[in-house]
Amino acid sequence: MKYDADSKRMPGIRWIKTIKKINVTIMSAVNYDYYSMEVLLNYNRHRDGKSYLVCREKFYIFPIFSFIGLQYNLYYLDLFVKNGRTEMKKIIPIKEHLARKAAINGKAGTAIMSSALHDERIMKLVTTHYNSITCENEMKPEIILGEKPTYRVDSSGNICLDDSGEPILKLDFSRADKIMDYIKLYNKENPNDIIRVRGHVLVWHSQTPDWFFREKYDCQCPYVTEKKMLKRLQDYIREVIFHYDGENSSYRGIIYAWDVVNEQIEPDDFDPQVNPDSVRFMCNGKNTGWYNVFHGNISYITQAFVFANQYSPKDVKLFYNDYNDADPIKRDAICSLLRKIKETKGARIDGMGMQAHYHMEDPSVELIGEAVRKYSLNVEEVQFTEFDIQSSKNYDGSDKETERIKEGRRYKEIFNRIYSLDQEEGINITGITFWGAHDGVSWLRDFSAVGGGADGRRPQMPLPFDEECSAKPSYWGI
């Protein structure tokens, strides 16, 4: 029976079709719509002249990729069972699938905020599908440094000063520690299914308070010298890393990687005389703090990797992280930066974080592949660190199911290329992190002026799971 995309119901059928020695028997089918069916399914695989029953299940989520391109036109997710969609235990955890597929034996991750810890449904989704967590905001300098500077004090209440006479900052780890405490307890209770953390981020122009760059930590004072700023940067990186990986830290061993520096390349800011390295100098219409101090000098970037290497355990991987990662001009500028970091005495950089804030229309998988190859010539690892896909440019929310199918196709296209790339000589893809647990908490639902953000003019559903934490076509695309 040929599939009719306009049909909303299909009568009970009995149909057997053999494709490449795989038999699929649909014993009954009801409530058939554009992408879902309630079925009683026999799934048989032939081997050595015998037929083996792989699955017989009613209301079972099961993609049958063998149907692609046939007259039935069921598309790649094919048989997708409505009544089973919310049964998480019925589907393969993403972390297990990525461990099996190609050579990706690394991390399957998601980003969460500390507020998610109180949502049992979200945390069930997270612990089922992921073995890596990124704090969406809680480890960023803005949160740890605070809106206003606070200082360490001695037993007499006097502000503590460092060797140069500057007051010593008191950092606030409380929000990030809530997530770390949850993970520490989870790992204790689940020693065979541990979760680790991707540290994000030590150096960023956005979400870093302006006072951090000023004399006396006062926004009314001038910007400090490069030398003083490097000292502040060293102190900050040391304190953050020691808090999570110092000898006496209760969190030691949970963090497996750090985004040491984030989003510091911007081709539009290139100037052959004053900014030959294309260092970002603008954010939201004004100069960044880093540019106001260093004026295009990349020493704060290279030295950040020196400091991170100095204080981090050697098994914690150090990454540069950026968006528009497949754009050829930006890609080449990033590769130039990676080489300069590697050439810096005392620096260590292990990997490139491709944020992968992609669109339905671009970049092409060819450009993604070329970027992975280029980065792999300069660093040992590549990770996709903030994966999501913005909706079609003409999507207005009126045909949600069609858009979800298109998104599933786009996911499949990209992930098939990732799996293929990871089998190539010299390429080591060690993790894929999705930027949000489900569509309902995605940052793309709101306007954002930072790199990779949404314009706020159309609905977004960029992740593998919908607002109900149910698997979408994009999950099957993975």
**Is the pLDDT at 194 greater than 50, yes or no?**
yes
Q: Whose CA is closest to 283, among 147, 391, 436, 142?
A: 142
**Mean pLDDT comparison of 43-52, 133-142, 445-454, highest-scoring range:** 133-142
Cα 178 to its chain centre, rounded Å, is 20
Is the model more confident about 399 or about 86? 399
**Is the pLDDT at 45 greater than 70, yes or no?**
no
Across 262-274, average pLDDT? 93
State the first-to-last Cα distance of the chain, in angstroms, to the nearest integer: 28
Neighbours of 471 (CB within 10 A): 25
Report pLDDT for 26: 41
Q: Is 99 exposed, middle or buried (0-12, 13-18, 19+ CB in 10 A)?
A: middle
Cα 358 from Cα 476, distance rounded (Å): 18
DSSP string for residues in 218-244:
-TTSPBPPHHHHHHHHHHHHHHHHHHH
Coil/strand/helix, residue 438? coil
Across 95-104, average pLDDT? 75
DSSP string for residues in 87-106:
-GGGS--HHHHHHHSTT--S
Across 56-64, average pLDDT? 38
Tokens matching residue 196: 């680790």
Helices (H) and strands (E) in the chain, counts: 11, 15
Cα 212 from Cα 290, distance rounded (Å): 10
Answer whether the bond into residue 363 is a cis peptide, omega within 30°: yes
- The 8 Å CB, 24+ separation contacts for 452-459 are 452/323, 452/324, 452/355, 452/357, 452/386, 453/357, 454/390, 458/391, 458/393, 458/395, 458/396, 458/397, 459/391, 459/395, 459/396, 459/397, 459/400
What is the model's pTM? 0.83
**Is the pLDDT at 49 greater than 70, yes or no?**
no
Is the model more confident about 325 or about 57? 325
Coil/strand/helix, residue 76? coil
Report pLDDT for 457: 80
Report pLDDT for 54: 46
Report pLDDT for 369: 98
Cα 386 from Cα 446, distance rounded (Å): 16
**Is the pLDDT at 55 greater than 50, yes or no?**
no
Cα 440 to its chain centre, rounded Å, is 16
**Is the pLDDT at 177 greater than 50, yes or no?**
yes
Lowest mean pLDDT among 61-70, 94-103, 224-233, 254-263: 61-70
Give the chain's radius of gyration (CA, Å): 25
Supply angle C-alpha 116, 130, 140, rounded to 5: 55
Q: Whose CA is closest to 131, among 381, 427, 430?
A: 430
